[in-house]
A and B are shown apart, each in its own frame.
Chain A
Amino acid sequence: MSTAKTLYDKIWDAHIVHDDPDGTCLLYIDRHLVHEVTSPQAFEGLRMSGRKVRAPEKTIAVPDHNVPTTSNRNDGIDNEESRIQVEALDKNAKDFGVHYYPVSDIRQGIVHIVGPEQGWTLPGMTVVCGDSHTATHGAFGALAHGIGTSEVEHVLATQTLIQKKSKNMKVEITGSLRPGVTAKDITMAVIGETGTAGGTGYVIEYCGQAIRELSMEGRMTVCNMAIEGGARAGLIAPDEKTFEYCRGRPHSPKGASWEMALAYWKTLFSDEEAKFDKVVTIKGEDIAPLVTWGTSPEDVLPITGAVPDPESFSGGKIEAVKRSLEYMGLEAGQKLSEIEIDTVFIGSCTNGRIEDLRAASEILKGKKVKDGMRAMVVPGSGLVRMQAEEEGIAEIFREAGFEWRLAGCSMCLAMNPDQLAEGERCASTSNRNFEGRQGYRGRTHLVSPAMAAAAAITGKLTDVREIQ
Chain B
Amino acid sequence: MEKFKKLAGVAAPMPLVNIDTDMIIPKVFLKTIKRSGLGVNLFDEMRYDREGNEKPDFVLNKTQYREAKILVAGDNFGCGSSREHAPWAIADFGIKCVVSTSFADIFYNNCFKNGILPVVLPQDQADILMKDAEKGANSIIEVDLENQTIASSDGEVFGFEVDPFKKHCLLNGLDDIGLTMEKEDQITAYESKAAQMFPWA
* A: number of interface residues (CB 8 Å): 77
- Complex CA gap A240/B110 in Å reads 37
Contact indicator A317/B187 (Cβ below 8 Å): no
Cβ of B26 and Cβ of A88 under 8 Å apart?
A: no
Q: How far is the CB of A15 from chain B (nearest CB, A)?
A: 8
How many Å from the CB of A108 to the closest CB on chain B? 19
Q: Are B105 and A230 in contact (CB under 8 A)?
A: yes
Name B181's contact: one of A79, A157, A296, A432 (CB within 8 Å): A157
**With known contacts A18-B183, A88-B33, A157-B177, A200–B104 Cβ distance under 8 A:** yes
- Please, which residue of chain A has its CB at the minimum distance from the CB of B113? A150
Q: From B14-22, B55-63, B138-146, B149-157, give the one contacting chain A.
A: B14-22
Q: Which residues of chain B are near A316, meaning CB under 8 Å? A: 15-17, 74-75
Residues from 148 to 201 in B contacting A, C-beta threshold 8 Å? 163-165, 176-177, 180-181, 183, 186-187, 190-191, 194, 197-201
- Alpha-carbon separation in the docked complex, A319 to B17 (Å): 8
Contact check: which of B84, B181, B194, B198 meets A150 at CB < 8 Å? B84
**Is B125's CB within 8 Å of the partner chain A?**
no
- Are A154 and B30 interface neighbours, CB within 8 A? no
Q: What distance in Å separates the Cβ of A231 from its nearest Cβ neighbour in chain B?
A: 8
Of A256-264, A397-405, A455-463, the one contacting chain B is: A256-264
B7 within 8 A of A: no
- Whether A148 pairs with B106 at a CB distance below 8 angstroms is yes
Q: Tell me if A40 counts as interface (CB < 8 A to partner B).
A: yes
The residue of chain B having its C-beta at the shortest distance from the C-beta of A126 within the complex is B201
Q: Which residues of B contact A158 (CB under 8 A)?
A: 177, 180-181, 187
Instruction: Identify which of A24, A88, A231, A434 gathers the most chain B CB atoms within 10 Å of its CB.
Output: A434
A224 interface residue, CB < 8 Å from B? no
Contact B79 A230 (CB under 8 A): yes
The answer to whether the Cβ of A277 comes within 8 Å of any Cβ in the partner chain is: no
Q: State A333–B186 Cα separation when bound (angstroms).
A: 61
Interchain nearest-CB distance for A322 vs B (Å)? 11
Report B117-157 CB contacts with A as 1/0, cut-off 8 Å. 00000000000000000000000000000000000000000
**Which of chain B's residues have a CB closer than 8 A to the CB of A85?**
31, 33
A109 within 8 A of B: no
Q: Is the CB of B82 within 8 A of A230?
A: no
B74 vs chain A, min Cβ distance (A): 4
Question: When the two chains form the complex, which single residue of A54, A82, A122 contacts B200, counting CB atoms closer than 8 Å?
Answer: A122
- In the complex formed, the residue of B with least CB distance to A323 is B16
A319 contacts across to B, CB distance below 8 A: 15-17
Q: How many CB-defined contacts (below 8 Å) exist between A and B?
A: 186
CB distance from A232 to the nearest CB of B (A): 5
Query: How far, in Å, is B136 (CB) from chain A's closest CB?
Result: 20
Partner of A232, one of B81, B105, B114, B177: B105
* Interface residue SS majority, chain A: loop
**Contact partners of A22 in chain B: CB under 8 A:** 163-165
When the two chains form their complex, are residues A230 and B76 in contact, meaning their CB atoms are under 8 A apart? yes
Q: Of the listed stretches A179-187, A282-290, A365-373, A435-443, name the one at the interface; the rest are far from the partner chain.
A: A435-443
Q: Which residues of A contact B35 (CB under 8 A)?
A: 41, 149
Residues of A within 8 A of B75 (CB): 197, 315-316
Chain B residue with Cβ nearest A195: B76
Known: A44-B33, A81-B32, A157-B177. A17 touches B186 (CB 8 A): yes
Known A81-B31, A432-B80: A154·B106 in contact at CB below 8 Å: no
Complex alpha-carbon distance, A32 and B28, angstroms = 25
Query: Whole-angstrom distance from the CB of A432 to the nearest CB of chain B?
Result: 7
Q: Is the CB of B31 within 8 A of A18?
A: no
* Alpha-carbon distance between A436 and B22 when the two chains are bound, in angstroms: 7
The answer to whether A41 and B33 have CB atoms under 8 Å apart is yes
Interface residues of B in 77-110 (CB under 8 A from A): 79-84, 87, 102-106, 109-110
Let me know if A193 is at the binding interface, CB within 8 A: no
Q: B20 — which chain A residues lie within 8 A by C-beta? A: 296, 432, 434-435
Is B45 among interface residues, defined by CB-CB distance under 8 A? yes
**Of B30, B50, B80, which contacts A440 at CB under 8 A?**
B50
Contacts of B34 on A, CB cut-off 8 Å?
41
Stretch binding the partner chain, chosen from A67-75, A99-107, A159-167, A208-216 = A159-167
Please indicate the chain A residues that have their CB under 8 angstroms from the CB of B8 in the complex. Answer: none
Given contact pairs A18-B186, A85-B33, A197-B79, A317 touches B17 in the complex (Cβ within 8 A): yes
A201 & B27 in contact (Cβ 8 Å cutoff): no
A382 contacts B by Cβ under 8 Å? no
* A414 and B177 form a contact (CB under 8 A): no
| Min CB gap A190→B, angstroms | 16
Which one of A18, A44, A323, A437 lies within 8 Å of B22 (CB-CB)? A437
CB contact under 8 A between A435 and B23, given known A125-B201, A230-B76: yes
Give the CA-CA distance A32 to B31 in the complex, in Å: 21
Contact A415:B79 (CB < 8 A) given known A17-B187, A154-B176:
no
The answer to whether B50 and A197 touch across the interface, beta carbons within 8 angstroms, is no
A296 proximity list for chain B (CB < 8 A): 18, 20
> Is B22 within 8 A of A197, CB to CB?
no
Closest residue on chain A to residue B19 by CB atoms? A320
The answer to whether A435 touches B22, judged by C-beta atoms less than 8 angstroms apart, is: yes
Q: Which residues of A contact B87 (CB under 8 A)?
A: 148
Q: How far is the CB of B52 from chain A (nearest CB, A)?
A: 13
**Smallest CB–CB gap between B48 and chain A, Å?**
11
Instruction: Let me know if A26 is at the binding interface, CB within 8 A.
Output: yes
Shortest beta-carbon distance from B184 to chain A in Å = 8
Question: Are B27 and A159 in contact, with the CB atoms below 8 A?
Answer: no
Closest A-B pairs by Cβ, 10 of them: A253-B200, A150-B113, A81-B31, A40-B33, A148-B110, A146-B82, A316-B17, A148-B84, A197-B76, A149-B84
Q: Which residue numbers of B lie inside 8 Å of A, CB to CB? A: 15-18, 20, 22-23, 26-28, 30-35, 45, 50, 74-76, 79-84, 87, 102-106, 109-110, 113-114, 163-165, 176-177, 180-181, 183, 186-187, 190-191, 194, 197-201
17 residue pairs from A and B, CB less than 8 Å apart: A14-B197, A24-B164, A122-B201, A131-B81, A150-B110, A159-B187, A162-B165, A164-B163, A197-B104, A200-B103, A230-B105, A264-B198, A296-B20, A316-B16, A320-B74, A434-B23, A437-B22
